[in-house]
Amino acid sequence: MLSELSGPTNSFGLRFLEQLNTSDPNKNVVFSPLSVILAYGMLLEGATGTTREQIKEVLQLSSEVSQAAKKLLYEYKSIADGKSDRSFSLFYGNLLMVNKDYPLKEAFVQSLTTNYFAQVTNEDFQNGKAIMDKLNSWVSEKTCGKIGEVLSRSPNPEMLLLVINTLYFKGKWAKPFNKKYTFDETFANSDGTKSKIKMMSLPNTYRNYLHNRSAKFKIVELPYNGDVSMIFILPTKSNTVSNLISTLHPTELENLLNSMCLTYLKLVNIPKFKLQDFHDLDNILSRMGMELPFTEQAEFKNITEESDLLFVSESLQTALIEVDEEGTVAVANTRMKMTGGAGPKFYEDFILDRPFIFMIRDNLTGVNLFLGQMNNMRDLN
């Protein structure tokens, strides 16, 4: 059954990617729209007034986001606990570290523990190093060591609250790439340069893949075990990733994804790559229209008794993806510091040797776990 967060992870994800392209259309990007939505969904439980409306509008969330999150996270919790027959790994964590001098409102804590399965701890922020070590250790554990440090210095003793979400995905290809077919290839970067890369290949073998195409791009879905897939979107040679994103409407993409048809691809070539990325969410989300949460005019009246002082002083996401012959590992950590103040069949090749968009999509819920773009392949392997 499709999750109510399917639409937001698609529409917000595309808008976020478009925003990144306005500042640098040639950069490589990976991020998790779901991680941002879960982190700010928790914050939404304590937001009021115009602040609440801005968060909902930018993230494309309804008033029932907490119930939608609960249903989705319950499904993912069953996978993490080994109680599901879906054969991939998906771990998440939600954590609030609270200054012991500013106790949270009971209703706020109840909503987060019930709907987001969040862990809430009271901390002595005068002992900043202990908090830094505790948080870094927690994130490292939740991301299986892929993200080891999110705080490099002790938090300010006057800080009221830390809000953290982590997401870890590991999937194995339903039809793995054989390492003996991986070869050296040239990738045409978006800035006109070329890079030598390792290209994974399924040669001389007819395989069935879900496929769609328009005048602007071609989509291919490569499944992992467990009804989750990696989607690759390749613009036509006369188009660019940046131009495609600025003209691609979320509804158009959703319709194309839902109308994928079976295709016989005689050759599938996918780059082998690793990518780590960092996003300054307070700047990006402010440009998208979510301004109030990051100002002293923020309205978070339902978090603590001192909530008139609360605003988001820093918000960051770290994301990482590794794609190889066996499958994919992708992780994300979103954190906030809060302080006071079926159609015809085609026979063709699919070769990713120029810039492309990718996403990791849960086919059962329709949720986009990760989204990104690859514009250049320098120093990525």
Provide the 8-state DSSP code for 146.
Answer: S
Both structure tokens of 158 = 């006057």
Q: Report the distance separating Cα 324 and Cα 329, nearest Å.
A: 9
At 1, which amino acid appears? Answer: M
Residue-by-residue DSSP string for 183-213:
EEEEEE-TTS-EEEEEEEEETT--EEEEEEE
Task: Render pLDDT for 31-51 as a digit per residue (tens, 0 to 9).
Answer: 999 999 999 999 999 999 999
Q: Report the distance separating Cα 52 and Cα 45, nearest Å.
A: 9
Percent of residues in the chain assigned helix, strand, coil, to nearest 5: 30, 35, 35
pLDDT at residue 208, as a whole number: 53
Task: Render pLDDT for 89-130 as a digit per residue (tens, 0 to 9).
Answer: 999 999 999 988 888 899 999 999 999 999 999 988 888 899
Both structure tokens of 20 = 């990144």
pLDDT at residue 266, as a whole number: 77
Q: What average pLDDT does this structure show over 359-374?
A: 93
CA distances from 201 to 46, 69, 151, 204, 268 (A): 49, 38, 39, 10, 6
pLDDT at residue 214, as a whole number: 64
pLDDT at residue 113, as a whole number: 95
Among 121, 122, 147, residue whose Cα is nearest residue 136: 147
Show the domains of the chain with their CATH numbers: 6-172+274-339 (3.30.497.10), 179-272+343-374 (2.30.39.10)
Q: Report the distance separating Cα 19 and Cα 287, nearest Å.
A: 8
- Pair 200, 325: CB distance under 8 Å: yes
Tell me the whole-structure pTM to 2 decimals.
0.92
| Beta-sheet pairing, 183-188 with 119-123 | unpaired
Lowest mean pLDDT across 20-24, 118-122, 167-171, 322-326: 20-24
pLDDT at residue 344, as a whole number: 41
